[in-house]
Every structure is written in C-alpha cells, then in structure tokens.
Structure 1
Amino acid sequence: MYAPRIQDLLDREEKVFRIDATTVGVSHRDLISEVVAARPVLSTERSVYKPAAGAEIPHDSATRTIRALGQDVMAGIRTPPPPARGLNGPWPYAATSYLRQWLFASDPLPVSLLSKRGITRSPALSRIVDRAVTVWPDPGADGHGRTALAEQIRSASDAQERGQAIAMYRRATATLCDGVAALTGNALWLMGPAGREQLTGPAGRERGAGPAGRERGAARADLTAVLWETLRLLPPAWMLYRTGGDAYTGLHPEIRREDNVALFPLLMHRHPDYWSEPMSFRPERWAGVPDPEKTPAYMPFGFDGARCWAKHLVVPLAERLLSVALDNRLTIRTPKHPKHPKQETNVPLRSLLSVRFNAVSGA
C-alpha cells in the first residue's frame, strides 16, 4: 500500500510530466541519461558528500571514507553475525540497528552514538554527541577496538577536518545501514512466504545433506539475483533529484531553466517499453547477466558520474543479511486485510523506498 504521492506517480503513463510549478518528473530512459550527462552532480545533491563543518568535502577525504567503509564492511561480514533476535521487531529499523551492531559495535561509546537513530533525529542530541566525540580520548595508538571510519576521526589534523570526519562517519554509516536494511526488507517481502520457505530449513539440510539440501543450496546461490530483481521493482534509491539550471534547458520542452528535475528509476524499472512482464518478480531474468548495471533502463545505483559511492558494498552486505534472516527463519508478521487473503504492508513516502513490516526470528 503505497503512500498517495508514490501511488500517484505509479499511476502515470507519461514518461515526462510536471509534478508542481517548479519540478518536472522524468522516467524516460534516454532523457534520464541526457539529464545525468548534462553536468556533474553537485555536492549539495549528494547525501554523504555535501559540505560539512563549513566547507566542501575534499576529494581525497571522500576517497579515504569510501576505502575505510569498505574495510569495515569486509571485516564485519567475515565475523559471526549478532544473535538473530536483533532482527525481531519493526523493519527496516530492526535491520538497521542490527547492521550497526554488526559492523560498528567495536567503536568507543561516543563514536558509536553518532549513528544511533534516536540521536540523529534530534539536533540537540546530535550536537551533544558531536562535542563528546570531539573530546573523545585516544584509546591507544594501535587502533585496536575501533573501525577504520572511527580512526579517521581520531587521526584528524585540525578542528575542521575532525568535524568533517565526524559528519562523514554519521552519514556513511547511516546511508549504508539504512540502504542495506531497506533493500533486504524489500527482498524478503517480494520473495513471499513460498520463496522464503524454499530457502530455509534445518542447517544440516541446507548444507547439502541429501537432495533437498542440494536444492536449497542451489537456490541460495541465487540470492544475488533476488537482490538485483528487488532493486528493479522496489529500489531504495527510487528518485534522484537535480537542481534546475541552464544545463537542462533544451533537453525537453517541458523542462524550463527554473525547473528542478526528479528522475524516477522506480517508474522506468516498471515500464513495459523497457521490460517484459514488468510487474512480475522474476529473479531468473538476471540469470547469466554478467553486469546487471549495463542493462538498458536499469539504474539501481545511478548513472556514470553519479553512481552510489558504496554500490560495491551494498549487494554483498545485503546478501549476507538476507542469508542471516533466512538461516534463522525470519517470519513476516503483518495484519491481513479482511477482504483480501494476501498480506499487505505500507510503503511510506521517505527518501529510501522501503516496505514496513514486523518480523520475528524462528531461531
């Protein structure tokens, strides 16, 4: 059950349309490419690398953040996951908290508070935590017990660099964990009870003890395809926003100089001009596709020059989280509509497209 404004978009048949007096929506494959290619993405249009501590984020600092986050994610997914009971409760929030515990729990208390949802939603608490991190004592020169992202805060050379490192820690951890939680939750929902049941069972059988185990093992290998198909039907990054200007004038008669442009992968991914059976959840459509991102009319992480900075981490981490959920027989609990036998859930209007449901682990 989509929020009314999202449902209104889904009901539109045209690929270029006016949303309001200063915004034009676009889901036309070629025009989206032209808009993205018209100019480089602005720093203010990026969620992570927008200015912080009164200055632009330097390119080398952004690169260090990506590398540090990659180190932390790869180190985290090689460690045993936290107890599955952490996945119980409302999704995607339960999954977000679970990922933060899994990947960043080793950081000292002041640093770990930077990405807590209750903290980030309060400007006053955020300022208090930022101050606490600023005076956070060095826990030791060897860096033991902290992530690579936290080490960037400790090793900052001056107040501005430290302030930017704090902002980057908060943004990077939140963007990654929120995005992966949304993607995994969307995948669990789209798989449905039958799809989830196919991939679950006693641990011995899953490892291949007999024909049933071998079938589950083969199916489990298709989780990546499940995620690529989820990124098509329910992409967390469902809209890209571009500030208007001269670069877009002339690309289409509907776009004026003063118009902002909203690009909608959500609509493009579902259009019958670009996809066969566009409304069907068919992970098998990705079988044998070596590079899904080269598929026409598919932009799960954006286009060249504006791709998600952590796209190489999102799918592997989501696959790992999805495996944990399936291994522990996570069950989705939602009320059923009295007139419809199928489960229903809400998809609210948020920056990340994510279904909402309650879940309980069977482990």
Structure 2
Amino acid sequence: MEQLAPAAVHGHGVVFAPRIQDLLAREDKVFRIDATTVGVSDFRLLSDIVAARPVLASERSVYKPAAGADVDHDSATRTIRALGQDVMAGVRTPPPPARGLSGAWPESATSYLRTWLFASDPLPVSLLSKRGVTRSDGLSRLADRAVTLWPGSGAGSGSTALAGLIHDATGDRDRRQAVALYRRATATLCDGVAALAANALWLMGPARAREESGAGLTTVLWETLRLLPPAWMLFRKGGPGYAGLHPGIRPEDDLALFPLLMHRDPDHWTDPLEFRPERWAGVADPEKTPAFMPFGFDGARCWAKHLVVPLAERLLDVALEHRLALRGSPRETHVPLRSLLSVRFEADTGV
C-alpha cells in the first residue's frame, strides 16, 4: 500500500507525532488501537458507523452538558445563530493590525481572530475568549464567576450576539450555561479556523502563497481539509449496534474514526499525497465527494461548518495581503498529538 505520510510538500516537510505517524503507517483500514478501542478509516464502514445511531451529546465538544445540565436543542440553535451573526458582522469590519499575526502559529492566528470577532464585548465577557484566560482553569473559573455576577455584563452597545445570550439568560443555571457556550463556541471556531489557515499556509509554501488570492484560496482550503484536516479523528462510544458492522468490532469497543487516513486512501484519491488544490476546481459541493469528511457526516456535522471556510479564507487574505512569511524559512515542521491537527511555525508580517 502507498505510504500515507508525505515526505515533503512544495519543499516543506511535515513531521507527525509518533502516534500519528504509527497510524499513517498502518495498511489495514480497520485495526485495534488498544484493548477497548478500534480504529476505522474505511469509507463505507465509517458511513455505516455514523448512520447506526445519532451522535451523543457527550461526543460533541460544544454541546456536552454544561452547568450541571444537558444543552437543549433551543439553546444550541440560538448559539449557532448568534455565532453566525457575529462572524458575518466581524468579517465586514476592518481587521485588526496585521502585526497581531506575527509570532507562533496557530496561536497567533487564534488570538487575532478572537480580537477581530469578539473584542467589542465588555469586560468581563471579553475575558472568556482571551487565550491567556482560556488556557488556565483557575482564570477561566474566575472569569465565569465574574460574568455571572457582573450586572449587565453580557450586552451593550456594539457587543456580540453571543454576549447578548448571556445577558438575556434567566436564572443562575441558564446564565452559567450561556457563559460555557460562549467560551466553547468562540474557542472551537477560532482554534479550528486558525489551525486550518496554518495548515494551508504551510502546504502552499512561499511561492504559491504569493500567487494565490481571492477565489483561488477556496480550493486551497478544501485541499488542506483533505490532506491536513484539523478534525482528524472522531470518537464514538461503543455499543451493540456497532458489533454487527464488522467482525473486528465488539459490543464493548469504542471507535476512533480517522478522516486523516481516509482522505489519503489511494482507492478513492488520485495522487493522494500530492497537494493539488486544482482537484476541487468546479466541484459544486465538496462535501458530497466520496471518502471526504472534513466536517463529519449527516446528522453529526460540525455545527459551525458553514463559517469555517469563509472565515479561514478571509484570514488568509489578510495574512497574504500583509506579506506574512515564515520566520527563518524552515524546511520542516512538527504536528503534535492534539485534538486539532495543526502544523507549528513562526511567522512575521511584512508591515
């Protein structure tokens, strides 16, 4: 079977964490990871697994229980709509100074996006989306407490729709849940878009980055979602409904589903290890492409998928317009073992 990990793309090497590299080296499409977990990269079996039952709340990072209660459908819908409003409003405003994109990626891009989209929220709500706060459990708890107690802190002139949901919440539990959803929604969106943009910049390389702009970036992003998808693994808790789908799956086995491997399957992709954005030219709906799962399957798709590519494209526009360049022109970069798959590099803007 063809090796699944590329040695280099446009002169840029990618060094995966050892456990990811081990996955890429596997030839079987259904394999045991440990005593209680089975890995799957076969497209048809993946489809059958996802269709076997609805995704559980505990399997979705944003809508798992918060503030001691499940997140109901109405709360989830309001959060999605509010986030969509905030993203559309944000990308219509001038971006922050491009110097904010200099530094370590994707962290610099994450902070830049949070400033761009949510800096209008008043204190202490704006603290909920600041990277320095979200990375500390102690500071996060303090920020949560401050928001739930601060009178009128959730809304005001120019504040985001997500902040308005905090302000409009009735009762302590509903407000605590609105606070949790604010943090989760902003973090999930900004972290995911930053990872996607970082991967795209690395795959393009300096020469192609200078050439691409406008509509060309859309195909670049779809090809990046194929070759280096930030959502590289999905988890499903085991159950009897899965055992009959494959002889290697037992009722007690949890399942790890790997788009990263499926997207490199030579049975479905021509030149699967080549970065070829042109393969998406003229494709009206990339998500209908067989063996392509950038945002999940029907019924379990990413709640913000309609925002990710347009926002990443806008972020790349800003980065390329201000001549963002990799610091030191590195020949290879590392991809650590994280829930979001992303390359790591240092960059500087030309301003």
TM-score band by shorter chain is over 0.9
Q: Secondary structure, in 3 states, of the residue corresponding to 1:235?
A: coil
Q: Does 1:257 align with 2:270?
A: no
Q: Quote the residue 1:132 is aligned against.
A: 146
Residue deviations 1:222-250, cap 9 Å, x none?
Answer: 11000000000000000000001112111
Letter of the 2:326 partner, please give it: I
Deviation of 1:269 (Å): 0.2
Deviation of 1:117 (Å): 2.3
Preserved CA contact (<8 Å) 1:96 1:181 = yes
Residue deviations 1:129-186, cap 9 Å, x none?
Answer: 1110011221698x31210000000110111110110000000000000000000000
State how far apart, in whole Å, the 1-side matches of 2:327 and 2:31 are.
37
Letter of the 1:309 partner, please give it: W
Aligned match for 2:216, one of 218, 222, 246: 222
Aligned match for 2:241, one of 243, 247, 268: 247
Q: Secondary structure, in 3 states, of the residue corresponding to 2:320?
A: helix
Q: Does 1:361 align with 2:349?
A: yes
Aligned match for 1:164, one of 156, 177, 181: 177
Q: Secondary structure, in 3 states, of the residue corresponding to 1:99?
A: helix
State how far apart, in whole Å, the 1-side matches of 2:207 and 2:163 are.
42
Q: Quote the residue 1:351 is aligned against.
A: 339
Q: Secondary structure, in 3 states, of the residue corresponding to 1:358?
A: strand
State how far apart, in whole Å, the 2-side matches of 1:18 and 1:128 are.
42
User: Which sections of structure 2, spanning at least 5 residues, go unmatched?
Assistant: 1-14
The 3 A distance-change label for structure 1 pair 220 and 145 is closer
Deviation of 1:319 (Å): 0.3
Preserved CA contact (<8 Å) 2:122 2:154 = no
The 3 A distance-change label for structure 1 pair 269 and 139 is closer
Aligned match for 1:184, one of 191, 194, 197: 197
Aligned length: 337
Q: Which has the larger radius of gyration?
A: 1
Give me the identity figure in percent: 75
State how far apart, in whole Å, the 2-side matches of 1:250 and 1:5 are.
28
Preserved CA contact (<8 Å) 1:334 1:357 = no
Q: Quote the residue 1:39 is aligned against.
A: 53
Letter of the 1:41 partner, please give it: V
Aligned match for 2:301, one of 307, 314, 320: 307
The 3 A distance-change label for structure 1 pair 144 and 273 is same
User: Which sections of structure 1, spanning at least 5 residues, go unmatched?
Assistant: 200-218, 337-342
Q: Quote the residue 2:31 is aligned against.
A: 17
Deviation of 1:348 (Å): 0.2
State how far apart, in whole Å, the 1-side matches of 2:328 and 2:245 are.
45
Deviation of 1:118 (Å): 2.4
Q: Quote the residue 1:57 is aligned against.
A: 71
Q: Does 1:197 align with 2:185?
A: no
Preserved CA contact (<8 Å) 2:118 2:129 = no
Deviation of 1:193 (Å): 1.2
Aligned match for 2:118, one of 104, 124, 127: 104
Q: Does 1:82 align with 2:70?
A: no
Preserved CA contact (<8 Å) 2:237 2:253 = yes
Q: Secondary structure, in 3 states, of the residue corresponding to 1:17?
A: strand
State how far apart, in whole Å, the 2-side matches of 1:330 and 1:124 are.
34
Aligned match for 1:113, one of 123, 127, 133: 127
Aligned match for 1:7, one of 21, 26, 29: 21
Letter of the 1:245 partner, please give it: G
Preserved CA contact (<8 Å) 2:38 2:255 = yes
Deviation of 1:220 (Å): 3.0
State how far apart, in whole Å, the 2-side matches of 1:132 and 1:348 are.
34
State how far apart, in whole Å, the 1-side matches of 2:135 and 2:277 are.
36
The 3 A distance-change label for structure 1 pair 3 and 248 is same
Q: Quote the residue 2:12 is aligned against.
A: none
Preserved CA contact (<8 Å) 2:125 2:154 = no
Preserved CA contact (<8 Å) 1:334 1:345 = no
State how far apart, in whole Å, the 1-side matches of 2:339 and 2:98 are.
27
Letter of the 2:168 partner, please give it: S
Length-normalised TM-score, structure 2: 0.94
Q: Secondary structure, in 3 states, of the residue corresponding to 1:19?
A: strand
Preserved CA contact (<8 Å) 1:269 1:297 = yes
Preserved CA contact (<8 Å) 1:41 1:305 = yes
State how far apart, in whole Å, the 1-side matches of 2:206 and 2:140 are.
40
Aligned match for 2:276, one of 282, 285, 302: 282
